[in-house]
Amino acid sequence: MQAYVLESFGLENLKKKTITDPTSPGKGEVLIEFKNVSINYRDTLVIAGKYDPRFPTPMVPLSDGSGIIRELGEGVRDFQVGDKVITGFAPEWRDGIPRRDEFRTTLGGPLDGTLRQFGIFSSKSIVMAPSNLSLAESASLPCAGLTAWSALMEANPILPGQTVLVQGTGGVSLFALQITKKLGAKVILTTSSPDKIERAQGLGADYIISTKDFPEWAKEARRITNKQGVDHIIEIGGKNTLSQSISACSSFGTISLIGVLGGNAMDANLLPVVMNQIRMQGIVVGSVRSLDRMCRAIEVWDLKPVIEPVHDWKDSVSILREFPRGKHFGKVVLEII
């Protein structure tokens, strides 16, 4: 079969090559033919050797994939040949609070990922793709979609009428926007890109703050909320934005720390966190059962992920090189042809 193999760290070492076909699935396993994969910022860090240089190479990168079951192993009862499925980010994290090894053993590092034609997986580590989505749309869900879902629905559920602030227009932020609107809450979106404002409004953002016009955007967020502050903040920037998030957050509000795009060092006044009893929670994607719960909600809501035009996987290297520049709106998806 064809696969992209990271022979050693560095994008220049990512090569498309022929590798050995997988064997038939064993007991409790399925053989998946991948049709689409999506790219996350984590993938670019893994490839560069900046995420965890202890990950083994050679390795097949990327963690998100969707495809069709082509063969069932002995004892598989929950799926049939031909089912459209998506892979769980952490295959051993099935539900609840996992052991450390269960949520640290993830696709696209240290395990082989999805940028390949076929793979064998435990039937307990995959879920049915939402019936209302294409496989390209479904491929966007395992990391970005589930991270937003975990923050807003699993770790500390939001309520109708509350306010959620999302930073930027990347995959997690736009999923958070869409989920928030389906739950009857309001969305404040911050962006530094004027060309993305209209598209964000089209997705239902109630308020948009230009960080170019309001560098101290927390003040504007508090003005919008009549000085009450934001109930839940999807924190993406880390060092560059955490102080603003703390200032913008309401008393007894929540900050979900999703990413550290601006740096992972802590440089913030923590006194307001204590005095306003702000809850700060780190979010590491979610379990396989959480992924299934989200997919079933997506069916009920008929939620459609925001994806860029789908690219041919032959262009994987150039697309991965461009990805960190952040020019995309929503998820970047590749088709395995």
What is the mean pLDDT for each group of 10 consecutive residues in the chain (337 residues)? 98 97 95 98 96 96 98 97 98 94 94 98 98 98 96 92 95 96 97 89 95 95 97 89 94 89 65 90 94 98 96 97 90 96
318 in the same domain as 227: no
Instruction: Give the pLDDT score at 265.
Output: 61
Q: What pLDDT shows up at residue 263?
A: 54
Please indicate, yes or no, if residue 302 is contained in any of the structural domains: yes
Give yes or no: residues 36 and 9 share one domain: yes
The string over 34-51, giving b where at least 16 C-beta atoms fall within 10 Å of a residue's C-beta and e elsewhere, is bbbbbbbbbbbebbebeb
305 and 240: one domain? no
* 256 and 165 together in one domain: yes
* Positive/negative CA dihedral, 42, 8, 54, 59: positive
The domain boundary residue, chosen from 240, 263, 282:
282
Indicate if 326 and 276 belong to the same structural domain: no
Q: Is residue 149 part of a domain?
A: no
Question: Is 146 contained in some domain?
Answer: no
Q: In terms of domains, do 245 and 218 share one?
A: yes
* Burial label, 330 (beta-carbon count in 10 A; 0-12, 13-18, 19+): buried
Name residue 284's amino acid: V
Shared domain for 185 and 69, answered yes or no, is no
CA–CA separation, 45 vs 16, rounded Å? 19
Q: Residue 205 falls within a domain, yes or no?
A: yes
Q: Judge if 71 and 135 occupy the same domain.
A: yes
274-279-285 Cα angle (round to 5): 150
DSSP string, 235-272: E-SGGGTHHHHHHHEEEEEEEEE---TT-SS--S--HH
How do 64-72 and 84-87 pair as beta strands? antiparallel
Q: State residue 35 phi and psi, 5-degree precision.
A: -115, -35
Residue 272: count other Cβ atoms within 10 Å of its Cβ: 16
In the chain, how many domains are there? 2
Q: Which domain holds residue 176?
A: 156-282
Looking at the fold, whether 231 and 209 belong to one and the same domain comes out as: yes
CB burial of 284-323 (b: ≥16 within 10 Å; e: otherwise) equals: ebbbbbbbbbbbebbeeeebebbbbebeebeebeebbeeb
* Matching residue, tokens 């893994």: 46
Q: Is 151 a domain residue? A: no
Same domain (yes/no): 115, 89:
yes
Does residue 228 sit within a domain? yes
Whether 274 and 321 share a structural domain: no
Whether 130 and 179 map to the same domain: the answer is no
Other CB atoms within 10 Å distance of the CB of residue 2: 15
- Alpha carbon 253 to its chain centroid, in Å, reads 23
In a domain, 171, yes or no: yes
Q: What is the CATH number of the domain that holds 120?
A: 3.90.180.10
